Structure 1
Amino acid sequence: MKVFGSSGVRGVVNEEITPAFVGRVALAAGSTFESGTVAVARDTRRTGEMLADAAAAALAATGADVHRLGVLATPGAQAYAEREGVPVVMVTASHNPPEYNGVKLVGADGVELSRDTLERVEDRLLAERFDEVPWDATGESRRVESARREYVEGLLAAIDRDRIADADLTVALDPGHGAGALTSPAFFRELGCRVVTVNAQPDGRFPGRDPEPVAANLGDLGDLVRAADADVGVAHDGDADRAIFYDETGTYIEGDATLAALSEAALDAGDTTVSAVNVSQRLVDVAERTGATLELTPIGSTNIITRIRELAAEGHHVPVAGEGNGGVLFPDYRLARDGAYTAARFLELLADRTASEAVADYDGYANVRENLGYDTDGEREAMLAAAERYAGSADATPTTIDGYRLDYGDAWVLARPSGTEPVVRVYAEAAERDRATELASEFRDALADARDR
């Protein structure tokens, strides 16, 4: 796909992402949905209301009535879609920096559009083949105030509230000024937890930290865990479809370790789990121990969800799936990444152990990730050509379903272009951090040399 990446379309506002562009995306989506009603939601970004207005106007031009949900976590918008049976245009750039925004499209079943449907939307967008209606058939717009509360009530109904309440947990929460600030604090309190917060004021400038929940951005959360003597720290990204954790000592927990712990608790022999090509050996080990099958896809929620749908149609049970960035899916609950639900499932693990104990069996690997930016398509292509040459000369087993992953037996390294930013990402994992750093650095240097020539 030329427009929609691994998780929608994103870019810098008033450069790649303009009101006119978002309007065209919404025209294409509205023409493809063929639905009498479409909802529009957004995260807290400063430009979100402007772009949501553009999307709503364009949808009305296709004849759709528009439900304006306001600021709402992406999983909350997906819950609304499923409950009401209407598709959603979600204005969000998820974990990207404040100057970014974007669009994610959700079907009337509450699931991100499949690649096939996204390609139909994209074909209409690129050809500007829109089904606009006469003036007297245009849609009307109304605001919906209940979506956030209904989302929280749905979460509460899906979780073992008694198990969590009996554990008497203190949760330190960092919603990162994003949409989760309007739902997660209440949710955890209603689960019976004591909740302390940082960066919990909705603010699209993200003054406390950047939206991406990585260790470099979450120092305040670690401090809060220690200061409040909390049992666990929870962080979201900008649209709250991800959850990252700190243990009771204020130590960052690798997302891959969390995914492994949650997966081991959910998987049985004969089940299938799905992850992306940057999968940690931790999840490979869990699949082997539980007798489950592990399927790999290109990186991005769209690809994982598409594969889960295919597996379900073939009769396979997929109780858990996701990536080590905190984006976990529990398809028996909903085929969507949901940071609040993921956090609650992790809290369930803490009923009889500490957070550090819950992930202790998955601590044996070190992960390194580096980004190499580029300014032109030529630089991007030069780096990808260098990655192909590097992979061809390496004494490792290559996987090329998304970029170039090289498995060395004791470690692996992956280089692939981001689907949401002008960067090529390099990932590495090994039992020793020095080994992972060495693999990432060597691959990165080969790419950087090609880019800078």
Structure 2
Amino acid sequence: MDSEALQKSSASHPKPSGLTLQYGTAGFRTKAEQLDHVMFRMGLLAVLRSKVLASTIGVMVTASHNPEEDNGVKLVDPLGEMLHPSWEEYATQLANAEEQELQTTITEICQKAAVNLHKDASVFIGRDTRPSSKKLSQSVIDGVSVLGGQYHDYGLLTTPQLHYLVCCQNTQGQYGKATLEGYYEKLSKAFTELIKQSPISGENQRHLKIDCANGIGALKLSEMKPYFPKEMLIRLYNDGTKEKLNHLCGADFVKVHQQPPRGLVMEPGERCCSFDGDADRIVYYYTDTTGRFHLIDGDKIATLISVFLKELLAKVGQSLELAVVQTAYANGSSTRYLEETLKVPVHCVKTGVKHLHHKAQEFDIGVYFEANGHGTVLFSKAAETKIRQLAKEEKDDGKREAAKVLENMMDLINQTVGDAISDMLAIEAILALKGLTVQQWDGLYTDLPNRLLRVQVAERRAVATVDAERRAVSPPGLQDSIDALVGKYRAARAFVRPSGTEDVVRVYAEADTQENADALALEVSMAVYQLAGGKGAPPQLL
């Protein structure tokens, strides 16, 4: 390590005095002007991680669904998964080290993690369309370069594309070609093969309106359009040419506000979907003949995919273990439908994609989606081998054809991380193959009315939870209050959890009517406000 070069380069990316940041569920995220030093240092960390694993590491500059003036950074591990939790601590230490402590901190990390600084390092870098992203990705490059790492700057990418490219690179092309063309070709080939067997003919083309959140998704979908079969007709809205990123549009806006994005006019029964700013989340929606808005969120996406996979496994005659992983935010109706009607086991884990992804790896086929629309499907190596073998060698025509559909679905899904483009194509293929309308999909089960509220508190750590965040263990008396309030309403459920990044406690409630869900959410919020040190104005419904 060249101490002088490090010192000089670091001085060009000074840390703001008194700023402390925590590596959260999805990396660092805050106002863009506060992140220059963090980006530089995550370049350093990516090199250390690459050296210790002898693999390519990814660095993505994005703040996902946050406002345009924010930015952030996510690190990607060798198989396209999120940064290993043991290194999140190193990321936080490095980001918060004072200028004069930087070299010592790097040395400590090298000792603890057994990093050999003489090894080679390789880093892939991508960025979203925020005005600040180009400059901040240059800061990452500076960090990579000063420690002698090699880098490939892919420029503008969706977050899932970077995850995909990192995985392809580290599997020597087994997962796919480590190029954008490779990504487009793999997904479009699998999609085309699937819809060939659809009862929907070319006469009745698949129309879909897509809200791209004025983000990177619009750019990448436009590049991918020539790869799509002629049956797939997509129209892009909020493509970034006029409005600000994520402003009154995008998956998060649609999910939270339960209304269509600005700039997209919907006819009754038209199928529409929204990506978020970095295209790793997706939600669907439509309006009925009365003009009522219907949201189809991550729970219903997971259910549709599970129905389809279960039917295919039955046709193939295989006893591969299929399971769904949810968080406490999943609607109670979805859990009941999966367990009681579909007979698919459901597992609940803490909020955060890393927890869902980790749990889903335990099964032959693990389906996971957060209610916000972030999710994917994982196939174990054994399941993948079995499916490919059956698609090639099975003598029974029906079983072999079903295995081929499973194989194409496996290739269509981006297993490294939730991917709005990949998920959209998988959903469109399933709807086409099953001949389902968006209304029929929505009708699989009826969501329980629910409400999500935020309570400002002086210190979020005053609230602690257990049982996958479904029960509060502090402050004393809070869970007793929640239990008593839930008991007042029919089909009710409520839980609270502290935010991972700000002094806010999130309150989720559901009940038999919207009025009761709203009332329960407000009463639980007041209990949090009184028992956990509420700050500012008391909670209220918007």
Task: Give the TM-score band, short-chain normalised.
Answer: 0.7 to 0.9
8 Å CA contact retained: 2:296, 2:442: no
Larger RCO, structure (CA 8 Å, separation 6 or more) = 1
Q: Conserved in 1, the CA contact under 8 Å of 2:456 and 2:505?
A: yes
Matched, 1:296 2:376: no
SS at match of 2:506: strand
Q: How many angstroms apart in 1 are the aligned matches of 2:373 and 2:501?
A: 17
| Secondary structure in 1 matching 2:208 | strand
Residue of structure 1 in register with 2:109 after alignment? none
Say whether residues 1:158 and 2:158 are aligned partners. no
SS in structure 2 of the partner of residue 320 of structure 1: strand
Contact 1:210/1:217 (8 A) holds in 2? no
2:299 matches 1:247: no
Asked if structure 1 preserves the Cα contact closer than 8 Å seen for 2:36 and 2:136, the reply is yes
Letter in 1 for 2:478: Y
* Paired residues of 2:207 and 2:232 also in contact (CA < 8 A): yes
1:416 alignment partner, one of 485, 497, 503: 497
CA distance in 2, matches of 1:363, 1:5: 33
Give the gaps of 5 or more residues in structure 1: 88-107, 111-145, 398-404
1:288-327 alignment, distance < 5 Å? 288-309=340-361, 311=362, 316-327=363-374
2:259 counterpart of 1:214: no
CA distance in 2, matches of 1:20, 1:277: 35
Q: Which whole-Å CA distance do the structure 2 matches of 1:432 and 1:182 have between them?
A: 41
SS at match of 1:213: helix
Aligned to 2:106: none
In structure 2, the partner of 1:4 is 23
1:448 aligns with 2:529: yes
Aligned CA distance change for structure 1 residues 260 and 396 (closer, same or farther; 3 Å): farther
Q: Is the contact made by 2:304 and 2:441 (CA closer than 8 Å) also made in structure 1?
A: yes
| Deviation (angstroms), 1:53 | 1.0
- Does structure 1 retain, via aligned residues, the 8 Å contact 2:211–2:250? no
Where does residue 266 of structure 2 map in the other structure?
Answer: 225
Give the distance between the partners of 2:148 and 2:238, measured in 1 at CA.
Answer: 40
TM-score (norm 1): 0.74
Structure 2 CA distance for partners of 1:304 and 1:51, relative to 1, 3 Å: same
Partner in structure 2 of residue 365 of structure 1: 448
What is the alpha-carbon distance in structure 2 between the residues aligned to residue 263 and residue 337 of structure 1? Answer: 16
Kindly indicate whether residue 471 of structure 2 is the aligned counterpart of residue 391 of structure 1: no
> How much has 1:175 moved relative to structure 2?
0.6
Q: Deviations over 1:64-115 (max 9, x none)?
A: 211111111111111111222289xxxxxxxxxxxxxxxxxxxx999xxxxx
Distance of aligned partners of 1:297 and 1:305 in 2 relative to their CA distance in 1, 3 Å threshold: same
Rounded Cα–Cα distance in structure 2 between residues aligned with 1:417 and 1:52: 31
Cα deviation for residue 174 of structure 1 reads 0.5
Counterparts of 2:439 and 2:263, CA distance in 1: 14
Asked if 1:75 corresponds to 2:107, the answer is: no
Q: CA deviation at 1:13?
A: 2.1
Q: Is residue 129–residue 215 contact of structure 2 (8 Å, CA) maintained in 1? A: yes
Which contiguous aligned blocks of 4+ residues in structure 1 show a shift greater than 6 angstroms?
405-409
Secondary structure of the equivalent of 2:162? Answer: helix
Shift in alpha-carbon separation, 1:367–1:147, aligned structure 2, 3 A: farther
Larger Rg belongs to: 2
In structure 1, what residue type is equivalent to 2:306? S
* Alpha-carbon distance in structure 1 between the residues aligned to 2:131 and 2:488: 42
Report if the CA contact (8 A) 1:428-1:440 is conserved.
yes
Q: Secondary structure at the match of 1:428?
A: strand
Q: Deviations over 1:341-398 (max 9, x none)?
A: 2112221243212101111122241121122345xxx44245668765321344379x
Q: Counterpart of 2:28 in structure 1: which amino acid?
A: V
Q: Which residue of 1 aligns with 2:92?
A: none
The 8 Å contact of residues 261 and 358 in structure 1, kept in 2 or not, is answered as yes
% same residue: 21
State the alpha-carbon separation in 1 of the partners of residues 488 and 429 from structure 2.
Answer: 34
Report the count of equivalent residues.
379
Match runs of 1:110-121 below 5 Å: none
Cα pair 2:237 2:263 within 8 Å, conserved: no
RMSD (Å) for aligned C-alpha atoms: 3.4
TM-score, normalised via structure 2 length:
0.62
Residue identity in the other structure for 1:55: V
Deviation of 1:274 (Å): 1.2
CA distance in 1, matches of 2:221, 2:208: 11
Q: In the superposition, relative to structure 1, how do residues 169 and 223 fare at CA in structure 2: closer, same or farther (>3 Å)?
A: same
**2:269–2:438: 8 Å Cα contact kept in structure 1?**
no
Cα offset, 1:337, TM superposition:
0.4
Could you tell me how far apart the structure 2 residues matched to 1:230 and 1:408 are?
A: 33
